[in-house]
Structure 1
Amino acid sequence: MISMIGKSIRRWWALFTLPTFLAFILGFLAPFVIGVYLSFTKFTTLSNAKWVGTRNYQRALSDPIFWHALWYTTLFTIVTTIIINVVAFAIAYMFTKALKGATLFRTVFFMPNLIGGIILGYVWQLLLNGVLAHWNVTLTYSATYGFWGLVILLCWQQIGYMMVIYIAGMQALPGDVMEAAAVDGATGAQTLFHVTIPLMMPSITVCTFLTVTNGFKLFDQNLALTSGAPSRMSEMLALNIYNTFYGRPGFEGVGQAKAVVFFIIVAIISLLQNKLTTRKEVEA
């Protein structure tokens, strides 16, 4: 039976993979190639695109607001990546121990991830502005308030999701290794830092990759919470590209060029991060 199934798969594999391959071409590859082409043109629609060479990239890279958005987004991603992963790992570590009501708490921590970013942005805008009202300021009073508002929002949303991944990784840890550490007299801290964390590097790689990419491509929460105020100082990269493309007539090509630069930056950072953490996996 297994041999017959194997022969059928080898014979008809192309037929079964064709729908997925076509969906990949139509949904990702073709729009990506067209987008790269449009970044070298001046256009309002595909039919009236005119080649302008690298002019769009020159205008994009000479935009000081774009560089501020890049710096702002990078700092935001570093802060949220550290906070989310440390807190999610700590909660997961706690929930894998004997804790009454752990299943209920896991569900509660995961629920924020099910709420849309726009809704979260407006809800947290009301909450945070209500707190800041005691000092007669709002989230849009300063980019610093907007920054930490976004940090609180994304951490609150993402910690539960990363916690689930860490819990799955901890539950898959080899019991004999943990028992050997206990027999050798290792303390809880020694077991955590020298046994648990090295063995958890595959989960740490996944969670770090997700938090880095989520931080860089954040858009809807930024739009709803601050919309870049004041004076576009709390504007992150994705929102900057959106405002360039849709908010400035004649700048569609510049917005597209920014999108390509954005893709290259995120791809390079993600690959470097993945390589660094994967190297730790091999050493572990």
Structure 2
Amino acid sequence: METKIEIGEPAVKSEVKTLSRKKANLKKILTYGAFVGPALLFFLVIQIIPFLMGIYYSFTSWNGVSSVVEWVGLENYIKIFKNDPKFFDSFIFTTKFMLASVIISNLLGFGLALLLNAALKSRNLLRTVFFIPNVIGGLLLGFIWQFIFVKGFAAIGNLTDLSVFKLPWLGDETTAFWGIVIVFAWQISGYMMVIYIAALQGVDQTLLEAAKIDGASSWTLLTKIIIPLILPAFTICFFLTISMAFKIFDLNISLTGGGPFNSTQSVAINIYQEAFQNNRYGLGTAKSILFFLVVAIFTTVQVMMTKKREVEA
């Protein structure tokens, strides 16, 4: 005796809906994959895989050329902490440079944003002028300012007899430090200005008008209303300037080359010389891993602190 199972119309409709839903999900996955896949692939090949390889090479004595890669374990890291005072000197210089550059760059960028957010006829032209230095490459910019410090300032000093222009700007440890800070701030402040302007334009003008009617001064408007409302922009700008200042290389090497007497040598230059001039690729990679950890800690703490202020605001 055979039993016949008849599939009713509701069951067929349910099966059709399930199939169509699966097709829609598959189409969505393929669409996402088509757009995100290439970027993810390049990110893996250019960023993640070299980073993992760098971690591996930091435990070897590879010279960057030989096919022989000898595993040495923690020897490179021990050598850095015990026998490499120049690396820590470059860390101290880079940290001081970062602190000075972050403060000056953001003050300049925010000040220019406040100025150019006003109703000025030439504000669009001025925004372009202040942003242009960020477009110029660091090496080219460094050589331009090297000529200004060495030749231009000397000529102005001879004409005006002002002592500030007669200083050995790139020949002394103190003035060379501030020379690099000046050039870096001049290059990056225009970029920060654009971010701050975008944030200022998002501030609700009715709040400012109401505060003015209540008798609030310009300083009160700035500190009690404007700055708390644009704290996300400060978070972004601090993050960018901290990471850029820590990683300074091209500007540093074209202005001073780390001199005089390695007094302005950044961590990036120290790592470059260790890996590609001294042919100690394993040791240089170990330094870069330590450098990465320090920058990651600094930026993470900064973002957490400023994000906390955003929530409170």
The TM-score range, normalised by the shorter chain, is over 0.9
Are 1:17 and 2:36 counterparts?
yes
Structure 1: which amino acid aligns with 2:211? A
After superposing the two structures, state which structure 1 stretch, 178-187 or 103-112, moved more: 178-187
Which of 81, 84, 108 matches 2:105? 84
1:13 and 1:159 map into 2 onto residues whose CA distance is: 37
The answer to whether the 8 A contact 1:140-1:146 is kept is: yes
Are 1:93 and 2:84 counterparts?
no
Structure 1: which amino acid aligns with 2:79? R
SS state at 1:230 partner: coil
1:37 and 1:265 map into 2 onto residues whose CA distance is: 19
After superposing the two structures, state which structure 1 stretch, 14-23 or 83-92, moved more: 14-23
Are 1:261 and 2:282 counterparts?
no
Structure 1: which amino acid aligns with 2:296? A
Are 1:149 and 2:169 counterparts?
no
Structure 1: which amino acid aligns with 2:199? G
1:127 and 1:29 map into 2 onto residues whose CA distance is: 40
1:124 and 1:248 map into 2 onto residues whose CA distance is: 29
Match of 1:73 in 2: 94
Identity across aligned pairs (percent)? Answer: 39
1:92 and 1:59 map into 2 onto residues whose CA distance is: 47
Structure 2: which amino acid aligns with 1:25? L
Matched ranges for 1:144-223 at <5 A:
144-223=174-253
Which of 49, 55, 72 matches 1:30? 49
Are 1:111 and 2:132 counterparts?
yes
The answer to whether the 8 A contact 2:101-2:245 is kept is: yes
Structure 1: which amino acid aligns with 2:60? T
The answer to whether the 8 A contact 2:80-2:287 is kept is: yes
Count of equivalent residues: 279
Match of 1:248 in 2: 278
| Change in CA separation of 1:23 and 1:173 when aligned onto 2, cut-off 3 Å | same
Query: Which whole-Å deviations, capped at 9, do the CAs of 1:94-141 have from their partners, x for residues lacking one?
Result: 111122311111110000001000001111011011225857764442
| Change in CA separation of 1:71 and 1:27 when aligned onto 2, cut-off 3 Å | same
The answer to whether the 8 A contact 1:80-1:154 is kept is: yes
Query: Which whole-Å deviations, capped at 9, do the CAs of 1:223-252 have from their partners, x for residues lacking one?
Result: 100001122111011011111112213x22
1:132 and 1:50 map into 2 onto residues whose CA distance is: 52
2:147 and 2:229 map into 1 onto residues whose CA distance is: 42
Superposed displacement of residue 39, structure 1: 0.3
| Change in CA separation of 1:11 and 1:169 when aligned onto 2, cut-off 3 Å | same
Match of 1:232 in 2: 262
Superposed displacement of residue 145, structure 1: 2.1
2:210 and 2:148 map into 1 onto residues whose CA distance is: 49
1:65 and 1:144 map into 2 onto residues whose CA distance is: 18
Q: If you compute each CA radius of gyration, which structure gives the higher value, 1 or 2?
A: 2
SS state at 2:67 partner: helix
Structure 1: which amino acid aligns with 2:310? E
SS state at 1:41 partner: coil
Structure 2: which amino acid aligns with 1:86? L
Which of 35, 39, 45 matches 2:58? 39
The answer to whether the 8 A contact 1:241-1:255 is kept is: yes
Are 1:64 and 2:74 counterparts?
no
1:40 and 1:245 map into 2 onto residues whose CA distance is: 14
Structure 2: which amino acid aligns with 1:103? N
Structure 1: 5+ residue runs without aligned partners?
none
After superposing the two structures, state which structure 1 stretch, 116-125 or 97-106, moved more: 97-106
Aligned Cα RMSD in Å? 1.9
1:59 and 1:137 map into 2 onto residues whose CA distance is: 39
1:140 and 1:58 map into 2 onto residues whose CA distance is: 34
Superposed displacement of residue 14, structure 1: 3.2
The answer to whether the 8 A contact 1:84-1:155 is kept is: yes
1:178 and 1:141 map into 2 onto residues whose CA distance is: 49
